[in-house]
Amino acid sequence: MKRQFGHRARLALSPPEIRLIDDQAHAGRAMWNLLHDWWTMLPKDKRSLTAADTAIRQARKEIDWLGVLPAQAAQAVLKTYFQAWKNCWDGRAEEPNFKARFRTVMSVDIPQGRDLNITRVHRRWGMVNIPKVGRVRFRWTKDLPVGKRANKNNRITGARLVKDALGWQIAFRVQTLEPKPDPHAGPEVGIDVGVTVPLALSDGKRYDHDEWLTEKEKGKLLRLEQRAAHRRTCRKRGERTSNRLRATYDQIQELRARAKRRHLDWQHQTTTDIATKYGTVVVEQLNIPNMVKSAKGTIEQPGKNVAQKVGLNRSISQEAWGRTVELLTYKLAQRGGSLHRVPASGTSQRCSACGFTTPGSREDQATFACKNPDCGWSGNADHNAARNVLHLYRMGLALVPAAGRAVVRRAHRVKPATAR
């Protein structure tokens, strides 16, 4: 089966190369804004892909700093802009808008894979060709289909340069042809996600992690946030952000980006281990946006325990449960496994031994003790919830996709009317 995926690697750039790529990214953002301005000003009957392509070519000839952007990257901006409008017309996204200088992710697209000319230098480093920049080293952390290994079915179709708080990276678009995996022979397992225990499995295993920042980094982050808050108070209303305040913001983003990378690395290692050991994984269908809603309330009806709810919302967002499920989904599919979702209501209050839900069974956050006099089972609360998640799947209560749920709901609505 054909598989398309991305692989991101860190670039080792010199200061002049960083400035060149920065100029290309700013030129691409400006071209998007000019294209959007040109598109919205024209009458609808004169808007076409050919007219937009002609306007971009003329702009690159007349404006020097737009010529810094390679021609293929400029065409990629046009293609992405038209795709954004198509997503809007299909109802998948909102209308495209202007891209701000400091709130937009800086990126440059390299749509042609043959322009990269990738070679491996040694075990840890490779070389890639970036248009109008030259040969650049990148960190080699994954075997790529280059050289003699590249063919029609296994090749790199393109790349994209992306900048975050820690520097520039290159994201390769890889296309491979792999044999269809055999069904995974591993056991079934239910997973309960949480804040104190990130992942608890129905067989008693759990996956924990340490803090993403060290104590020294936490102290530095606190000082930087206090410094930024003090400098914000010194800025007058409507005044432009000072360079010192912006430099403080950059340092804060660097620490948060470092924590995010460590979290993503832990998620990849954990989900790979789960997908390798288990053939069927069952998770809860959680509505995370509703879970992290603010408890502030209104003036007429103010909320309660607002500060505690803010801290809980932050902890839930930092765990990124949705990303864990996404990683598990495609990794299980690669290994012949499957992922299923079950309703989340009642999984933490039900006793996994006797099946009864009795009030007061959760003695504290970590312990579950069944109050049924005929049972009396006690154990870890997260382990109990994971066993209930797996039990719902074995009872045939796995949720179907959204379209299927709509069909089931219509069928249930018709039955009472037909009976009457």
- Tens of pLDDT, residue by residue over 11-61, are 999 999 999 999 999 999 999 999 999 888 888 888 888 888 888 888 888
Q: Indicate whether 116 and 197 sit together in one domain.
A: no
Q: What is the pLDDT of residues 93-116, one digit of tens each?
A: 888 999 988 788 899 999 988 889
Q: Indicate whether 399 and 331 sit together in one domain.
A: yes
User: pTM of the full predicted structure?
Assistant: 0.81
- pLDDT at position 297: 67
pLDDT-derived band at 370 (thresholds 50, 70, 90) equals confident
Pairing, β 155-164 against β 167-177 = antiparallel
* In the predicted structure, residue 166 carries a pLDDT above the cut 80: yes
* In the predicted structure, residue 346 carries a pLDDT above the cut 70: yes
Q: Indicate whether 342 and 310 sit together in one domain.
A: yes
Q: Indicate whether 341 and 271 sit together in one domain.
A: yes
Q: Which helix H or strand E contains 80, and what residues bound it? A: helix 71-89
Domain, as residue range, for 12: 1-180
Q: Indicate whether 34 and 119 sit together in one domain.
A: yes
Q: Indicate whether 350 and 399 sit together in one domain.
A: yes
- Alpha-helical (H) ranges within 198-242 are 215-234
Q: Looking at the DSSP assignment, which residues form a beta bridge with residue 284? A: 342
Q: Indicate whether 157 and 193 sit together in one domain.
A: no
Number of domains in the chain: 2
Tell me which of 132, 165, 180 is where a domain ends: 180
Q: Indicate whether 19 and 165 sit together in one domain.
A: yes
Which of 44-50's residues contact partners 24+ apart within 8 Å by CB, and which partners?
49/78, 49/82
* In the predicted structure, residue 230 carries a pLDDT above the cut 60: yes
Q: What is the pLDDT of residues 281-306, one digit of tens each?
A: 999 888 878 777 777 766 666 677 67
Q: What is the pLDDT of residues 311-336, one digit of tens each?
A: 788 888 888 888 899 999 989 998 89
* In the predicted structure, residue 185 carries a pLDDT above the cut 90: no
